[in-house]
Structures are given as structure tokens and as C-alpha cells.
Amino acid sequence: MRVLITGGAGSCGRYLTVSLLDRGYEVSVIDRDVEPLRSIENSGLTLIQEGVENREAVRSAMEGVDGVLHLAWSFSEDPLETLDGDLRGHIFVLEEAASQGVKHLIYTSTAVVYGKPRYSPIDEIHPLMVEEARKPLYGIAKAAAEKLCLMYGSQRSLPATIIRFWWAFAEDIAGRHLREMLRTAAAGEPLEVPADSGGSFVHMADLVKGVELCLFNPKAYGRTFNFATVYVTWEEVAAMVRDVTGSSSEIRVVAKDQWQGSAFLADPWELSDARGRELLGYSPMSSPEAKALLEAAISNRWRTMEESRRRA
């Protein structure tokens, strides 16, 4: 079977591409920059260097495709670029998938659509408070993209599934807040973190597992799933940061009503993956293993930062 991955050369897409190839799928990738995949030696891989806002390229890439994993997104904070690029391209993907009779489309959304937690853990029926999101434009656009998927499912008979996750990592981990914590610890300054807060990190292996459990699975059609690996508090993350930097920084846990940092950090971003466990048999790795891998990823990020600093 052939699967098209939009944005397949990105951080998540690369793992999905390799995993599906290993499972024997033929994989086509359409991305503005496919260079990260050039080193893959597999006759089942087809690379198309184009953006999804090019409808002719999307139409051609969709020919003979059984399933679509739609990851492509610019993450622009320009409303016009988001509308004319991301959402326009999103509609092209949906139109061509519906017109060409694709058997299943999986759309990778984000926990940002929840906006601000009203309760914890956050399940898939939590209200989408996108105006209160840490990135409102991103949240609004992704929520609209989700609704379009469901509309094409009901009106154009395109089986669609939406997946949401919070913060993905593998051998490395990105994130401005994490980089700031690493620099603070390295300088020996106190690490301040909000009390009773943290997030559900997802390891890329578990995210891939969740996507593959959904793919061509009728139980997933028309549904939304949260995928997570482990909930980690910011106090735990601070301890990991201190360990990997070899710092003796004090960790100060600040009460929420006294917290002066980013409001995003002060919320408990714990995602419930109960729906995926019940309907799909989703089973992430154990908490101790996941936390060890998270610390290793933070260590690799610190090593990369140090290497960049020495070269500068």
C-alpha cells in the first residue's frame, strides 16, 4: 500500500517515513525541503520537493495513494501566510484526497487547540479555548483545520482521524523554554518553576505507534485521539536540566499565584490517552524508561548548544 506524508521531512515526519518504509509500505513525501530524507536508501520512497499550497503538485502526489498522513504546516505567526499557505494547502490536500478516493487521512494537530486547561487530565472532549492559547493564531488555524477534516469526512466520505499531542521528543528535544532553563542552570542561577504544573511529553516511538494503530483502522475513522507517553512536572525537568549541565543551581518551586514567568508553564498539561488505549490498544512505554529517555534528550540538546557556543 502507498502512503503520502505531507511535511514528511520534518521532525515528526522523518520518524513516520522510516517506520512505514520498514513496515513495507511505499511512501511518498511532499515537503518544501526533502533534503533530510535524501540519505534514505529505499526503493519504496518517493520524494517530491513542493509545498502543499501547490495544488498541481498535491494532485500529482496523491495519485495511487491509499492513505495520507498530513503533517505539513509552516508555524508562521503571520495571519495572511497562515491563511494563504497553511489553510489553503490543507484544503487542497483534503480536496484531492476526497476526489481521488483515498481510504484514510490522518491529520496531526496539537494540544494547543485546548487553549488553556479547564480540567486535568485533558481528554478529547475538552473545550477548544483557542483564543486563550499561548499561540492563538496557531491554535485557531489548527482547530479550523480539524473541523475541515471532519466536514470532509461527513460531506465527502473521506475517512479522517485527528491526533493531538503536547511536546514530542526523541534522541533530541527542542523548545525555547527548555533552552532558557539549560542556560540558567549552566550559569549557576536559581531555576524557578511553577508548582503543580508540567506536561505530557510523547516519545516519537510512541507517537509513531499511535499513528500506525490509527492507519486504515475503521475504529479510528471520524475520531480524535490524544497520544502521550509520560507526564513530567517542571520540577522534575529542572532536576534533569541541573544534572545534565553539572550545575548546583537551586530549584525554586513557586506557587502559582506568585509565578511571574510564562503563563503557559503554569498549567498542568496532562493529556488523557484513555480513548486510544481503549479503542486502539495504545500502550506507551513505561514511565521510568520514558523519563530516562527524556533526560538523555535534554542532555543531547545541551551538548548541541555547547558545541554551537564553542564554534561561535
Structural domain contains residue 276:
no
Structural domain contains residue 312:
no
Q: Determine the pLDDT at residue 311.
A: 86
Both 139 and 252 in a single domain?
no
The whole model's pTM is what? 0.95
Counted domains in the chain: 2
Both 76 and 122 in a single domain?
yes
Q: 209 lies in which domain range? A: 2-167+202-226
Three-state SS sequence of 61-73 = HHCCCCEEEECCC
Both 31 and 7 in a single domain?
yes
Both 141 and 212 in a single domain?
yes
Q: Determine the pLDDT at residue 110.
A: 97
* Averaged pLDDT in 10-residue chunks for the chain of 312 residues: 96 94 96 95 96 97 97 94 96 98 98 96 97 94 98 97 97 94 96 96 97 97 98 98 96 93 90 98 98 98 93 80
Task: Tell me the C-alpha to C-alpha distance, in Å, between residue 209 and each of 195, 202, 276.
Answer: 32, 11, 11
Structural domain contains residue 107:
yes
DSSP 190: -
Q: Determine the pLDDT at residue 293.
A: 98
Q: Determine the pLDDT at residue 117.
A: 94
Structural domain contains residue 13:
yes
Both 187 and 124 in a single domain?
no
Residues 6+ apart with CB under 8 A from 101: none
